[in-house]
Chain A
Amino acid sequence: MLSSVRSLWMVFLKMFKKRVTIKYPEEKPYLAPRWRGRIVLTRDPDNNERCVACNLCAAVCPTDCISLQATEDENGRRYPEIFRINFSRCIFCGLCEDACPTYAIQLIPDFEMSEYNRQSLVYEKEHLLIDGMGKYHGYSYYDQAGVAVGVKPKGGGENESEPVDVRTLIP
């Protein structure tokens, strides 16, 4: 008897405490920038697609829900022709982001992806590609790489010397 009254009292006291639940969806929760939600493909500082279609994200994905096909522009700059994520399979583990060598694929703090129709959870490149750099600013893979592909002259990358002259006789 006493314990029941005590319990009721304690519950009553909770009414004066700060509320933990919020009135979602009218009110939005705070999500840390590192929160692993909806996946986006980002662009580099020159507003070009960052993804170089290396397939590492697809390979690492434990649910095999990423598929893409590489293609190249007229300079040989590689990018994905198609890029598809089946979000009905994705477990938001973030391994794809870890594997990506270009910061292209990023998980962002957005989880509002529910659909009535499962088919609508299949995102193509047009649904994934955003206009900005996402969480990681300033990085451009092609500045670091050795390939030129119309982005820079040969030897014009960071930490590269001029192309060698194979015909010189100087030792």
Chain B
Amino acid sequence: MAKVFIDNIEYEVPNGKNMLEVALSLGLDLPYFCWHPAMHSVGACRQCAVTNYRDENDTRGRITMACMLDATDGTRISINDQKSKDFRAGNIESLMINHPHDCPVCDEGGECHLQDMTVMSGHNYRRYRFKKRTHINQDLGPFLNHEMNRCIQCYRCVRFYNDYAGGKDFGVFASAGRVYFGRSEPGTLENEFSGNLVEVCPTGVFTDKTLKKHFTRKWDLTSAPSVCHQCSVGCNILASERYGTMRRVMTRFNGDVNGYFLCDRGRFGYEYVNDEKRLTRAAQKDASSGSDPVSSVKAHIASRPKMIGIGSPRASLESNFMLKRLVGAENFYQGIPSNEADVINEVLRVLREGKVRTPSLKEMEDFDTVFVLGEDVTNTAPMMALGLRQTAKTLPKQKAYALRIQHWNDAAIREVVQDEKGPFFLATGYATKLEEVSTSVYHGDTNSLLKLSEAITNEIRSGSGDNQSGGFSHQVAQALLASEKPLIVSGTGMMSKSIVQAAANIAGALKDAGREVGIVYAVPEANSMGLAMLGAAGSLDDAISRVNNEKDLTAVVLETNLFYRTDNQTASDFLSHCHKTILIDSMENECTQEADFILPAGTFAESDGTMVNNEGRAQRYYQVFKPNNDMRSSWAWLDMMINQTEEARPYDDIIREMLEANPALEKIKTLAPAADFRIGTQKIPRQTHRFSGRTSMNAHVSVHEGKPPVDNDSPLTYTMEGYHGKPPSADIPFYWSPGWNSIQSINKYQIEVGGDLHGGNPGLRLIEPNENGITRFEVNSAGNNSGRYEVLPSWHIFGSGEMSAMSPAIEKRIPDVYIAVSDKALEKAGLQGADKISVRHQSATITLPVKVDNSLPDNVVLLPYGFKDTVGWRFPFKGELERGV
């Protein structure tokens, strides 16, 4: 602890901070631009000026930048003396000299850090009479809008995009008053994290293009704390609605998970919620009974048919649980093919029975050596890749710390680090983007990756090894052994159980060697882990064979598009073999044509629930708005069926029931406040206190204002009435604090800026390592060997996510479908110069345009996962190549 003096008041503050962080953590208002809690200080904007005094006898002091001033014992500053106030007012005035008269049409307006800081610094009237400099904007693709006139040259964007996220197609150009932040040529920003510029940029230079299409001010949004459903990382998001449609997604800070950032799939992949193909009304195929669809479903259930349930990794724990309850545990199946289910179940087993701990996303950044086995992290779990890019800097940064450079001194650290990266190894089926930060890479098919991992494991265990596969295994093993905190990263991306086990074995060997090792697996979907934890009688394939054998089954299909999970023939056979099908889903698809009953399910925006991420962290998400139709949480439909009621029971009853039946999930009880939680007597409003248009937005329907919807499922309200202070950390629907309208107001919700939220970060880990657990797992051999080529899935951040791929902005970024092979493989198959080739596997063939990728081993072929043309294929498989027509 250090004793510092701010405006003559003494404070005890933690060591290793700068005075800006200290002042903000103490709740004092000090304006700033270039400092960012995750990217630290460079001292570029000059806005955080304070007066620094040598000691108590120093009456003059000197102006200095608080963000560049170490908070050591005895540091003495004034924030509120006239000299620093004048300096800050002058500084902002000069920053505003060229600022356009844009606020009314600027999408940042109302949540603009520049507006806030201008007000805070006391600059009111423009005195400058000369011309403003202007800039030409660039078209940056479907995600971001560019309006360079608004720039105040704080350099946050380049520091995030290039230095933090590893972007290559962005930069700062020109000099003096002309500096320009953009691309060298207009064009799509390629980096997977470009959307964060919306939040990182303190002005309206970069704004959300998907929001622009249906623009709404921050104060007019109805928002709820939610969890991103687009991949397994489970980033925390703020999802916002107005006039019954979703408007945007912003980062919800969670110091254990995503921190201040989101990936572009999560941020822009929400638009499917507003799609025309959404199911909005309950429906039935055969209306001859004369009763309404919901009653017909209930009547059918009441007739006690033999039922099976198809659960879903994109549905909440609660929904899956209620389905299991409805159909009975022995009739509940995971709605994913057996190969996928096996791999995910194996991940769960390794984490539960193994001795090695899986770190949170935040903790991953503290490891020093990384080995990635078989996973294309950037595309399967993007935010994990952003974390790993920071992990790569752990050791190089320590060099800077050894030179006694403070942890917050970003520019100085970067000067020391330069392009150096920590030990970072990748062994994958194909070249992945993280290779940019790697020491050394290896590409191979599943079998060679397994051999490689075995060699690594053996060398770690024995301390000496051979130099197979070009010495790569030796290099990796030695680096891992040399490290105090090695991290093994793998996942389900190769759809191989053996890869999961092999990664566990490397981690196990390191654990036995006394290293503080961590293991992380990426899994395919938002609730893949939760579904696995609930346990099922089998996979989709088992359900399919049951339907083939028993003809009088009613299938209750929960949030699963069978035509996405398996091939068309199997899916339609399944539907025709079922006696009746009850479909609970959110989007019209091939299944909806066939189903006997359809119950419209809410997406994350219209439902409540809990998701379990790849780490085993349970996270609660809240309904954003009550839609004006039949949509509701899937669990609510299931509850109505089970109990034959008109309305579902409240969420808390469902949770209670679920926890009674699943002791392993018990911790969820304390995950978030119960629905009867009140602050004083008040609930927490989803709308800001400035929400406008209440007496007018529905006046075209009826001038008589109806009662606002009531939320019985959570402590939140759908209105602006309620407690306007800081809610519990799991229930923060938006960030706002007096004088701080922008996203920077997160500062006010944290114990210490950049650190954990008051009351602890939300989310609870359900899986902890077993101290007496296993460190050696038996590796299953890699299956079927007939065929010369191993066909692996290649993953795409834009395209491989089932729901996000239906969002228009994401759709524009989906690459053309292809089949990737190396020149060598083409030669081997005698197919040089072919435009299209076919892969044959058993009786099925797929023909696609060729994409030559010479990083591929010559026995590996890639097909993009989850694209329209490739759904239904089960990876990996061995196949033959043929010339396509």
User: Assuming A89-B696, A119-B703, A168-B174, is B243 touching A69 (CB within 8 A)?
Assistant: yes
Binds B, one of A17-25, A41-49, A53-61: A53-61
Is A66 an interface residue, CB under 8 A from the partner?
yes
Task: State in angstroms the CA–CA spacing of A55 and B134 once bound together.
Answer: 26
Interface contact B150-A101, CB-CB below 8 Å = no
Interface contact B104-A141, CB-CB below 8 Å = yes
Task: State in angstroms the CA–CA spacing of A89 and B695 once bound together.
Answer: 7
Residue of A61, A70, A72, A168 touching B178 (CB-CB under 8 A): A168
Q: Which residue of B lies closest to A169 (CB)?
A: B175
Is B102 an interface residue, CB under 8 A from the partner?
yes
Q: Which residue of A lies closest to B702 (CB)?
A: A119
Interface contact B696-A166, CB-CB below 8 Å = no
Q: Which residue of B lies closest to A70 (CB)?
A: B215
Task: State in angstroms the CA–CA spacing of A61 and B697 once bound together.
Answer: 13
Is A147 an interface residue, CB under 8 A from the partner?
yes
User: Assuming A54-B104, A85-B696, is B109 touching A164 (CB within 8 A)?
Assistant: no
Binds A, one of B82-90, B251-259, B511-519, B686-694: B686-694
Task: State in angstroms the CA–CA spacing of A53 and B213 once bound together.
Answer: 13
Interface contact B219-A59, CB-CB below 8 Å = yes
Is B404 an interface residue, CB under 8 A from the partner?
no
Task: State in angstroms the CA–CA spacing of A84 and B219 once bound together.
Answer: 18
Residue of B132, B219, B699, B703 touching A146 (CB-CB under 8 A): B132
Is B214 an interface residue, CB under 8 A from the partner?
yes
Per-residue contact bits, chain A 133-171, to B (CB 8 Å; 1 contact, 0 not): 000000001001111010000110101111111111001
Task: State in angstroms the CA–CA spacing of A69 and B244 once bound together.
Answer: 12
Give the shortest distance, in Å, between B453 (CB) and chain A (any CB): 49
User: Assuming A166-B178, A168-B178, A171-B176, is B104 touching A56 (CB within 8 A)?
Assistant: yes
User: Assuming A161-B132, A162-B134, is B700 touching A55 (CB within 8 A)?
Assistant: no
Residue of A58, A86, A101, A164 touching B692 (CB-CB under 8 A): A58
For B868, the chain A residues whose CB sits under 8 A away are none
Is A52 an interface residue, CB under 8 A from the partner?
yes
Is A122 an interface residue, CB under 8 A from the partner?
yes
Task: State in angstroms the CA–CA spacing of A78 and B704 once bound together.
Answer: 31
Per-residue contact bits, chain B 115-146, to A (CB 8 Å; 1 contact, 0 not): 00000000000000011111111000000000
Is A124 an interface residue, CB under 8 A from the partner?
yes
Interface contact A86-B102, CB-CB below 8 Å = no
User: Assuming A64-B695, A88-B703, A168-B178, is B214 touching A69 (CB within 8 A)?
Assistant: yes
For B212, the chain A residues whose CB sits under 8 A away are 72
Is B304 an interface residue, CB under 8 A from the partner?
no
Beta-carbon contacts under 8 Å, A60-94 to B: 61, 63-72, 78, 84-86, 88-89
Interface contact B220-A58, CB-CB below 8 Å = yes
Residue of A55, A122, A162, A168 touching B703 (CB-CB under 8 A): A122
Q: In the complex, which of the residues B100, B147, B697, B699 has the most CB atoms of chain A within 10 Å of its own CB atom?
A: B699
Residue of A54, A64, A119 touching B693 (CB-CB under 8 A): A64
Per-residue contact bits, chain B 93-118, to A (CB 8 Å; 1 contact, 0 not): 00000011111110001100000000
For A124, the chain B residues whose CB sits under 8 A away are 700
Give the shortest distance, in Å, between A163 (CB) and chain B (any CB): 5
Task: State in angstroms the CA–CA spacing of A54 and B693 once bound together.
Answer: 13
For A65, the chain B residues whose CB sits under 8 A away are 693, 695-696, 699
Is A14 an interface residue, CB under 8 A from the partner?
no
For A168, the chain B residues whose CB sits under 8 A away are 174, 178
Interface contact A146-B102, CB-CB below 8 Å = yes
Interface contact B101-A164, CB-CB below 8 Å = no
Interface contact B104-A164, CB-CB below 8 Å = no
Task: State in angstroms the CA–CA spacing of A64 and B219 once bound together.
Answer: 13
Q: Which residue of B lies closest to A146 (CB)?
A: B100
For B693, the chain A residues whose CB sits under 8 A away are 58, 64-68
Interface contact B131-A160, CB-CB below 8 Å = yes
Is B173 an interface residue, CB under 8 A from the partner?
yes
Residue of A59, A84, A141, A147 touching B696 (CB-CB under 8 A): A84
Task: State in angstroms the CA–CA spacing of A66 and B213 once bound together.
Answer: 21
Interface contact A145-B102, CB-CB below 8 Å = yes
Interface contact A122-B173, CB-CB below 8 Å = no
Interface contact A67-B109, CB-CB below 8 Å = no
Residue of A84, A145, A163 touching B699 (CB-CB under 8 A): A84
Beta-carbon contacts under 8 Å, A6-41 to B: none
Interface contact B214-A164, CB-CB below 8 Å = no
Interface contact B105-A160, CB-CB below 8 Å = no
Interface contact A55-B105, CB-CB below 8 Å = no
Interface contact B149-A59, CB-CB below 8 Å = no
Interface contact B105-A52, CB-CB below 8 Å = yes
Beta-carbon contacts under 8 Å, B675-726 to A: 690-697, 699-700, 702-704
For B690, the chain A residues whose CB sits under 8 A away are 59
User: Assuming A59-B217, A88-B703, A146-B150, is B178 touching A164 (CB within 8 A)?
Assistant: yes
Is B180 an interface residue, CB under 8 A from the partner?
yes
Give the shortest distance, in Å, between A110 (CB) and chain B (any CB): 20
For B178, the chain A residues whose CB sits under 8 A away are 164-166, 168
For A86, the chain B residues whose CB sits under 8 A away are 695-696, 699, 703
Interface contact A163-B134, CB-CB below 8 Å = yes
Interface contact A159-B135, CB-CB below 8 Å = no
Give the shortest distance, in Å, between A15 (CB) and chain B (any CB): 46
Residue of B100, B217, B692, B694 touching A147 (CB-CB under 8 A): B100
For A58, the chain B residues whose CB sits under 8 A away are 220, 692-693
For A159, the chain B residues whose CB sits under 8 A away are 130-132
For B243, the chain A residues whose CB sits under 8 A away are 69
Residue of A55, A141, A144 touching B217 (CB-CB under 8 A): A55
Is A102 an interface residue, CB under 8 A from the partner?
yes
User: Assuming A58-B220, A64-B692, A122-B703, is B134 touching A147 (CB within 8 A)?
Assistant: no
For A70, the chain B residues whose CB sits under 8 A away are 214-216
Is A121 an interface residue, CB under 8 A from the partner?
yes
Task: State in angstroms the CA–CA spacing of A149 and B174 once bound together.
Answer: 25
Per-residue contact bits, chain B 164-177, to A (CB 8 Å; 1 contact, 0 not): 00000000011111
Beta-carbon contacts under 8 Å, B203-231 to A: 212-217, 219-220
Q: Which residue of A lies closest to B174 (CB)?
A: A166
For B131, the chain A residues whose CB sits under 8 A away are 159-161
Interface contact B136-A154, CB-CB below 8 Å = yes
User: Assuming A70-B215, A163-B135, A164-B133, is B703 touching A54 (CB within 8 A)?
Assistant: no
For A54, the chain B residues whose CB sits under 8 A away are 103-105, 109
Interface contact B700-A161, CB-CB below 8 Å = no
Residue of B100, B104, B135, B696 touching A67 (CB-CB under 8 A): B696
Q: Which residue of A lies closest to B172 (CB)?
A: A166
Interface contact B700-A122, CB-CB below 8 Å = yes
Give the shortest distance, in Å, between B65 (CB) and chain A (any CB): 26
For A53, the chain B residues whose CB sits under 8 A away are 215
Task: State in angstroms the CA–CA spacing of A119 and B702 once bound together.
Answer: 7
For B135, the chain A residues whose CB sits under 8 A away are 154, 163-164, 166
User: Assuming A159-B132, A163-B135, A166-B180, is B149 touching A146 (CB within 8 A)?
Assistant: yes
Interface contact B215-A78, CB-CB below 8 Å = yes
Task: State in angstroms the CA–CA spacing of A165 and B173 once bound together.
Answer: 10
Give the shortest distance, in Å, between B687 (CB) and chain A (any CB): 11
Q: Which residue of B lies closest to A53 (CB)?
A: B215
- B-side residues, CB < 8 A to A, are 99-105, 109-110, 130-137, 147, 149-150, 173-178, 180, 212-217, 219-220, 243, 690-697, 699-700, 702-704
A-B contact pairs, 25 of them (CB 8 A): A52-B105, A54-B105, A58-B220, A59-B220, A64-B693, A64-B695, A67-B693, A70-B214, A78-B105, A84-B699, A86-B696, A86-B699, A89-B696, A144-B101, A146-B101, A146-B102, A154-B134, A157-B134, A159-B131, A160-B134, A164-B177, A165-B174, A166-B174, A168-B174, A171-B176
Closest 10 CB pairs of A and B: A146-B100, A67-B693, A54-B104, A58-B692, A155-B134, A67-B696, A146-B149, A166-B174, A161-B131, A164-B178
- A-side residues, CB < 8 A to B, are 52-56, 58-59, 61, 63-72, 78, 84-86, 88-89, 101-102, 118-119, 121-122, 124, 141, 144-147, 149, 154-155, 157, 159-168, 171
Instruction: List 5 other contacts, CB 8 Å, given A122-B703, A164-B133.
Output: A141-B104, A144-B101, A146-B102, A159-B130, A160-B131
